[in-house]
Amino acid sequence: MEIESTTDFISGLPLTEEMKGNFSGIGKEFIEDFYPWGKQDPTLYEGDIQLFGDKNAILNNSYRWPNAIIPYEIADDYTPDQRTVIAYSMEQYRLNTCIQFVPRTSEENYIRILKKGTGCNNLVGMINQGAQDLSLDDNCINENSPGTVLHELMHAAGFFHEHTRPDRDEFVRIDFDNTITDFKSAFNKSKASEVTTLGIPYDYGKKKVCNVNI
Protein backbone atom coordinates (compact mmCIF):
# COMPACT_ATOMS: atom_id res chain seq x y z
CA MET A 1 0.00 0.00 0.00
CA GLU A 2 1.45 3.34 -1.05
CA ILE A 3 0.95 6.54 0.92
CA GLU A 4 0.07 9.73 -0.90
CA SER A 5 2.70 12.43 -0.57
CA THR A 6 2.80 15.97 -1.88
CA THR A 7 5.23 16.30 -4.78
CA ASP A 8 5.60 20.10 -4.84
CA PHE A 9 7.11 20.28 -1.37
CA ILE A 10 9.82 22.94 -1.00
CA SER A 11 11.86 22.44 2.15
CA GLY A 12 12.68 25.44 4.31
CA LEU A 13 15.38 25.90 6.90
CA PRO A 14 15.20 23.63 9.96
CA LEU A 15 13.92 25.13 13.18
CA THR A 16 17.38 25.29 14.73
CA GLU A 17 17.37 29.02 15.44
CA GLU A 18 13.74 29.04 16.60
CA MET A 19 14.61 26.33 19.14
CA LYS A 20 16.97 28.82 20.76
CA GLY A 21 14.29 31.50 20.96
CA ASN A 22 12.15 32.90 23.73
CA PHE A 23 8.95 30.91 24.16
CA SER A 24 7.63 32.99 27.06
CA GLY A 25 4.69 34.28 25.03
CA ILE A 26 3.52 30.90 23.75
CA GLY A 27 0.30 29.52 25.20
CA LYS A 28 -0.14 32.23 27.80
CA GLU A 29 -3.57 33.40 26.65
CA PHE A 30 -5.89 30.44 26.31
CA ILE A 31 -8.43 30.89 23.52
CA GLU A 32 -11.37 28.72 24.46
CA ASP A 33 -12.89 28.49 21.00
CA PHE A 34 -9.65 27.86 19.07
CA TYR A 35 -10.32 24.34 17.91
CA PRO A 36 -9.99 24.13 14.12
CA TRP A 37 -12.86 21.70 13.57
CA GLY A 38 -13.84 23.60 10.43
CA LYS A 39 -10.65 22.27 8.86
CA GLN A 40 -11.11 18.68 10.07
CA ASP A 41 -12.18 16.05 7.56
CA PRO A 42 -15.00 13.70 8.57
CA THR A 43 -13.73 11.20 5.98
CA LEU A 44 -10.47 10.83 7.93
CA TYR A 45 -10.25 8.49 10.88
CA GLU A 46 -11.36 10.43 13.98
CA GLY A 47 -11.26 13.61 11.89
CA ASP A 48 -7.50 14.10 11.66
CA ILE A 49 -5.78 10.74 11.19
CA GLN A 50 -4.65 9.44 7.80
CA LEU A 51 -4.97 5.68 8.14
CA PHE A 52 -2.37 3.34 6.70
CA GLY A 53 -3.21 -0.35 6.79
CA ASP A 54 -4.46 -1.84 10.05
CA LYS A 55 -4.57 0.27 13.18
CA ASN A 56 -2.80 -2.38 15.21
CA ALA A 57 0.31 -1.90 13.06
CA ILE A 58 1.38 0.72 15.58
CA LEU A 59 1.87 -2.09 18.10
CA ASN A 60 4.64 -3.46 15.91
CA ASN A 61 8.09 -2.15 16.76
CA SER A 62 8.79 -1.60 13.06
CA TYR A 63 6.28 1.26 13.13
CA ARG A 64 8.07 3.04 15.94
CA TRP A 65 10.70 5.67 15.31
CA PRO A 66 14.20 4.30 16.05
CA ASN A 67 15.52 5.56 19.37
CA ALA A 68 12.43 7.81 19.65
CA ILE A 69 14.04 10.25 17.20
CA ILE A 70 11.74 11.72 14.53
CA PRO A 71 13.51 13.42 11.61
CA TYR A 72 11.58 16.25 9.97
CA GLU A 73 11.58 18.68 7.10
CA ILE A 74 9.43 21.80 7.19
CA ALA A 75 8.05 23.70 4.20
CA ASP A 76 9.46 27.11 3.40
CA ASP A 77 6.14 29.02 3.49
CA TYR A 78 5.56 29.20 7.24
CA THR A 79 5.80 32.64 8.82
CA PRO A 80 8.38 33.34 11.56
CA ASP A 81 5.60 33.29 14.18
CA GLN A 82 4.29 29.95 12.91
CA ARG A 83 7.78 28.46 12.91
CA THR A 84 8.21 29.57 16.51
CA VAL A 85 5.00 27.81 17.59
CA ILE A 86 6.09 24.61 15.85
CA ALA A 87 9.55 24.85 17.41
CA TYR A 88 7.99 25.41 20.84
CA SER A 89 5.84 22.29 20.39
CA MET A 90 8.82 20.16 19.40
CA GLU A 91 10.78 21.49 22.35
CA GLN A 92 8.05 20.36 24.76
CA TYR A 93 8.61 16.79 23.62
CA ARG A 94 12.35 17.09 24.17
CA LEU A 95 11.86 18.53 27.65
CA ASN A 96 9.09 16.24 28.85
CA THR A 97 9.47 12.92 27.00
CA CYS A 98 12.09 10.67 25.44
CA ILE A 99 10.93 11.81 21.98
CA GLN A 100 13.00 14.21 19.92
CA PHE A 101 12.22 15.91 16.61
CA VAL A 102 15.45 16.57 14.71
CA PRO A 103 16.22 18.11 11.30
CA ARG A 104 16.45 15.42 8.66
CA THR A 105 19.86 14.71 7.18
CA SER A 106 19.72 11.53 5.08
CA GLU A 107 17.12 9.45 6.93
CA GLU A 108 14.83 7.45 4.66
CA ASN A 109 11.80 7.76 6.94
CA TYR A 110 10.82 11.23 8.11
CA ILE A 111 7.89 13.63 8.43
CA ARG A 112 7.30 16.61 6.17
CA ILE A 113 5.45 19.49 7.81
CA LEU A 114 3.52 21.51 5.27
CA LYS A 115 0.32 23.33 4.38
CA LYS A 116 -1.69 20.87 2.31
CA GLY A 117 -4.98 22.75 2.36
CA THR A 118 -6.56 19.79 4.15
CA GLY A 119 -6.46 21.16 7.69
CA CYS A 120 -4.65 19.55 10.61
CA ASN A 121 -3.97 15.84 10.07
CA ASN A 122 -1.27 13.23 10.08
CA LEU A 123 -0.40 9.56 9.93
CA VAL A 124 0.20 7.67 13.18
CA GLY A 125 3.71 6.46 13.84
CA MET A 126 6.44 5.69 11.31
CA ILE A 127 4.98 4.12 8.17
CA ASN A 128 8.28 2.91 6.71
CA GLN A 129 7.60 4.33 3.25
CA GLY A 130 9.84 7.38 3.19
CA ALA A 131 8.42 10.87 3.55
CA GLN A 132 5.05 11.13 5.30
CA ASP A 133 3.12 14.38 5.31
CA LEU A 134 2.00 16.17 8.47
CA SER A 135 -0.54 18.80 7.46
CA LEU A 136 -0.55 22.04 9.47
CA ASP A 137 -2.49 24.72 7.62
CA ASP A 138 -2.53 28.35 8.74
CA ASN A 139 -5.52 27.97 11.04
CA CYS A 140 -3.89 25.02 12.83
CA ILE A 141 -1.16 27.23 14.31
CA ASN A 142 -1.82 29.83 17.00
CA GLU A 143 0.69 31.05 19.56
CA ASN A 144 -2.02 31.25 22.22
CA SER A 145 -3.19 27.70 21.57
CA PRO A 146 -0.22 25.52 20.56
CA GLY A 147 -2.14 22.39 21.53
CA THR A 148 -3.18 21.65 17.95
CA VAL A 149 0.45 21.42 16.84
CA LEU A 150 1.32 19.33 19.92
CA HIS A 151 -1.65 17.12 19.08
CA GLU A 152 -0.54 16.37 15.53
CA LEU A 153 3.06 15.81 16.58
CA MET A 154 1.79 13.23 19.05
CA HIS A 155 0.08 11.36 16.21
CA ALA A 156 3.43 11.38 14.41
CA ALA A 157 4.99 9.83 17.52
CA GLY A 158 2.52 6.94 17.35
CA PHE A 159 -0.45 7.85 19.55
CA PHE A 160 -4.16 7.63 18.79
CA HIS A 161 -6.71 9.80 20.61
CA GLU A 162 -6.97 9.25 24.36
CA HIS A 163 -10.77 9.23 24.32
CA THR A 164 -10.85 6.19 21.98
CA ARG A 165 -8.77 3.87 24.18
CA PRO A 166 -10.53 0.55 24.94
CA ASP A 167 -11.06 1.31 28.65
CA ARG A 168 -12.41 4.80 27.95
CA ASP A 169 -15.83 4.14 29.50
CA GLU A 170 -14.26 3.52 32.90
CA PHE A 171 -13.21 7.17 33.00
CA VAL A 172 -15.51 9.31 30.84
CA ARG A 173 -19.00 9.19 29.39
CA ILE A 174 -19.60 10.22 25.79
CA ASP A 175 -22.91 11.95 25.11
CA PHE A 176 -23.40 10.86 21.51
CA ASP A 177 -26.54 13.01 21.27
CA ASN A 178 -24.31 16.03 21.73
CA THR A 179 -21.69 15.16 19.11
CA ILE A 180 -21.34 16.74 15.68
CA THR A 181 -23.15 14.42 13.27
CA ASP A 182 -20.29 14.04 10.79
CA PHE A 183 -17.85 13.28 13.60
CA LYS A 184 -19.82 10.71 15.63
CA SER A 185 -17.48 7.94 14.54
CA ALA A 186 -14.57 9.91 16.00
CA PHE A 187 -15.83 8.86 19.43
CA ASN A 188 -15.88 5.11 18.79
CA LYS A 189 -13.60 3.03 20.99
CA SER A 190 -10.62 1.12 19.65
CA LYS A 191 -10.36 -2.59 20.32
CA ALA A 192 -7.89 -3.88 22.87
CA SER A 193 -6.37 -6.01 20.10
CA GLU A 194 -5.72 -2.92 17.99
CA VAL A 195 -3.95 -0.54 20.36
CA THR A 196 -2.07 -0.52 23.64
CA THR A 197 -2.52 1.84 26.59
CA LEU A 198 1.08 1.12 27.65
CA GLY A 199 -0.29 0.53 31.14
CA ILE A 200 -0.78 4.26 31.63
CA PRO A 201 -3.92 5.52 33.42
CA TYR A 202 -6.40 7.64 31.47
CA ASP A 203 -5.01 11.15 31.08
CA TYR A 204 -7.77 13.74 31.39
CA GLY A 205 -5.43 16.56 30.46
CA LYS A 206 -3.82 14.91 27.46
CA LYS A 207 -3.46 16.85 24.22
CA LYS A 208 -4.94 13.88 22.37
CA VAL A 209 -8.38 14.22 23.98
CA CYS A 210 -10.87 15.87 21.66
CA ASN A 211 -11.94 19.15 23.19
CA VAL A 212 -15.61 19.26 22.26
CA ASN A 213 -18.77 17.35 23.05
CA ILE A 214 -17.46 14.78 25.52
161 annotated among ligand-binding-site residues: yes
Q: Is residue 6 packed enough to be buried (19+ CB in 10 Å), middle (13-18) or exposed (0-12)? A: middle
Q: What angle do CA 115, 120, 122 make, to 5 degrees?
A: 95
**DSSP string for residues in 132-175:** EEEEE-GGG--TT-THHHHHHHHHHHT---GGGSTTGGGT----
> Exposed, middle or buried by CB within 10 Å (0-12, 13-18, 19+), for 152?
buried
- Report CA torsion sign: 164, 169, 172, 175: positive
Contacts of 95 (CB under 8 A, 6+ apart): none
Side chain identity at residue 92, one-letter code: Q
- Annotated ligand binding at 151? The verdict is yes
155 is in an annotated binding site: yes
Q: What is the bridge-based pairing of β-strands 120-121 and 131-136?
A: antiparallel
Active-site residue numbers? 152
Name the binding residues for Zn(2+): 151, 155, 161
Name the binding residues: 151, 155, 161
